[in-house]
Amino acid sequence: MQLTLWTYEGPPHVGAMRVATGMEGLHYVLHAPQGDTYADLLFTMIERRSKRPPVTYTTFQARDLGGDTAELFKRALLDAAERFKPQAFIVGASCTAELIQDDPGGLAATAGLDVPVVPVELPSYSKKENWGAAETFYQLVRRFAVKAEQRPATCNVLGPTALGFRHRDDVKEVCGLLARLGITVNVVAPMGSTPADLTRLGEASFNVVLYPETAGTAASWMQRNLGQPFTKTVPIGVGATREFIAEVAALAGVDATALLAAEESRLPWYSRSVDSTYLTGKRVFIFGDATHAVAAARVAREELGFEVVGLGTYSREQAREVREAAKALGLEALITDDYLAVEQAIADAHPELVLGTQMERHTAKRLGVACAVISAPVHVQDFPARHSPQMGFEGANVIFDTWVHPLMMGLEEHLIGMFREDFEFNDQAPSHLGHKAAPAPPPVREAPPMVEAVAVLEAPVETRWAPDAEAELKKIPFFVRGKARRNTEAFARMTGVATITVETLYDAKAHYSR
């Protein structure tokens, strides 16, 4: 058993639902107890879909368990076939149905349907949502995709699903880039495709993988079985977008010179303009799915000039990529799905900006740190009405605005460092966000961690702050105060100082400036 207050991913059958709901003409019959239909509202509310997800749940109850739940499943399947007339079905079990072992795949095979049925076996007690989406898409591709004569300079775009973070706009952005390179998009899948479209996948000469979390497995299979190479660069950030353009141009045998020569993103100039100077070395902590976390680390370091002080992911399947990216930044990657471990790591790193998920947004709020969302899981506000991709040149514009906005604006930051006693402008909240100064955030609990995975902190050595030193510390702007406190205490321990005075504070400052 794992004690969980918050989960970064849903169960694997939610991943299967994301694939089915993203597609057209595919219906999912899910063997599940009454109540599991809560998942519908992820799609109808958070993503604001105007149609019900194409999912029929058996919704068995306790009284059914004494009877024939297998018969119940069969009836649900036949009813769905008659009512929805899909091109194909996927069938599977949720966590509870997995325990009663009715074998949806076997039952569907004997139901005598005249449309293809693809069973998806998703181990609910060991795997999670993204794995479920990847496995479902892989099973569908295996079932429907066939080797065909490849058309030159033609690709499939793989990975976007329902409930994906900015998938709607990323697809539009990337397809725009491909069109301008003269590359034809054959099929975009799962999102927007039908089972019939999947049978045409083989006609492309290569695959563009936008989201390795959901399309990695299928793309590898297609490379082996259909002879289609696939892209490895995810075009998030200006540098990655340029590399992606070069990569697809090489795969398609087209010339990318003109597209690369036209400066498409405003990010480079915005980032070089003098108003961005104060962004230099801002300490940023990054957490999310592997793809977005790794991409964000590069943008933060190379394109905005931040210092990355923490990098992690909840995607165990892609942990290796994140470890490599962290190592290149001189960091140890945080691989965990326990939000309390993430919260602790953020508190320890004293960042000035957190780039994370919906969860980190709340952790950052508690700690009084600026934050922007870069990855699922997200809530309704991250399915915006306006065009807001993360990928491509426009995506980089969106990223610049989104990440810089929560930080205190440059002039205000200077004035707050100069004049500490203003009754109106203080360092609790940037005035451009329109809040009155917030009360100081509560300290992070020194409560015992809830999982053993959390590193045991070294026992704190007793260092005392003299009142005047404590008062002096308050004169340091809030976004670097935590780091100053930690550095001073470390310096005091190192030099054997028991009581920190104003002198100790400045000695430490000088020591760490060297």
Partner 1 sequence: MLDHVPASGCDTRPILRERGQREVFCGLTGIVWMHRKIQDAFFLVVGSRTCAHLLQSAAGVMIFAEPRFATAILDERDLAGLADAQEELDRNVARLLERRPDIKLLFLVGSCPSEVIKLDLHRAAQRLDRRFNGVRVLNYSGSGIETTFTQGEDACLAALVPELPSTDSAQLVIVGALAEVVEDQWRRLYAAMGVTNLAFLPARRAGDMPAVGQGTRYLLAQPFLAETARLLDARGARHIPTLFPLGAEGTTAFLRAGAESMGVGAGRFAEATAAAEARARAALEGPRARLAGKRIFFFPDSQLEVPMARFLTRECGMEAVEIGTPYLHRAHLAAEMPLLPAAATLSEGQDVERQLDRCLAARPDLVVCGLGLANPLEAQGITTKWSIELVFTPVQGYDQAADLASLFARPFARRDMLRV
Q: How far is the CB of 105 from partner 1 (least distance, A)?
A: 20
Go through the chain and tell me how many residues it has. Answer: 514
Of the chain, the end-to-end C-alpha distance in Å amounts to 48
201 labelled ligand-binding: no
Q: How far is the CB of 123 from partner 1 (least distance, A)?
A: 8
Return residues touching partner 1 (CB under 8 A). 1-7, 9-11, 13-14, 33-42, 44-45, 48-52, 56-62, 64-65, 76, 79, 83, 94-96, 99-100, 123-126, 128, 359, 362, 365, 379, 445, 447-448, 450
Q: How far is the CB of 3 from partner 1 (least distance, A)?
A: 5
**Cβ contact 504:497 at 8 Å:** yes
Of residues 445 and 464, the one with the C-beta less far from partner 1: 445
Of residues 99 and 498, the one with the C-beta less far from partner 1: 99
User: Rounded distance, CA 293 to CA 314, Å?
Assistant: 10
Determine whether 366 is exposed, middle or buried from the number of CB atoms within 10 Å of its CB (0-12, 13-18, 19+). middle
Q: Which DSSP string corresponds to 321-386? A: HHHHHHHHTT---EE-S-HHHHHHHHHHH--SEEEE-HHHHHHHHHHT-EEEE-SSS--GGGS-SS
Among residues 189, 244, 248, the alpha carbon closest in space to that of 222 is found at 189
**Cβ contact 493:463 at 8 Å:** yes
Type of residue numbered 169: D
User: Rounded distance, CA 160 to CA 98, Å?
Assistant: 27
Of residues 23 and 155, the one with the C-beta less far from partner 1: 23
Q: How far is the CB of 402 from partner 1 (least distance, A)?
A: 20
427 labelled ligand-binding: no
Query: Residue 230: beta bridge partners?
Result: 207
Of residues 52 and 327, the one with the C-beta less far from partner 1: 52
**Cβ contact 108:92 at 8 Å:** no
Among residues 210, 148, 165, 230, the alpha carbon closest in space to that of 398 is found at 165
**Cβ contact 415:433 at 8 Å:** no
User: What is the DSSP-derived secondary structure letter of residue 433?
Assistant: G
Q: How far is the CB of 75 from partner 1 (least distance, A)?
A: 9
Catalytic choice (68, 79, 255, 275): 275
Of residues 240 and 335, the one with the C-beta less far from partner 1: 335
Q: How far is the CB of 11 from partner 1 (least distance, A)?
A: 4
Q: Which residue reads 């990529």 in tokens?
A: 321
Of residues 142 and 365, the one with the C-beta less far from partner 1: 365
Q: Which DSSP string corresponds to 35-73? A: TGGGGHHIIIIIS--SS--SEEE--B-HHHHTS-HHHHH
Active site residue 102: no
Of residues 62 and 459, the one with the C-beta less far from partner 1: 62
310 labelled ligand-binding: no
Q: How far is the CB of 412 from partner 1 (least distance, A)?
A: 28
User: Rounded distance, CA 450 to CA 447, Å?
Assistant: 9
What is the set of active-site residues? 275
Binding-site residue ranges: 36, 410-411
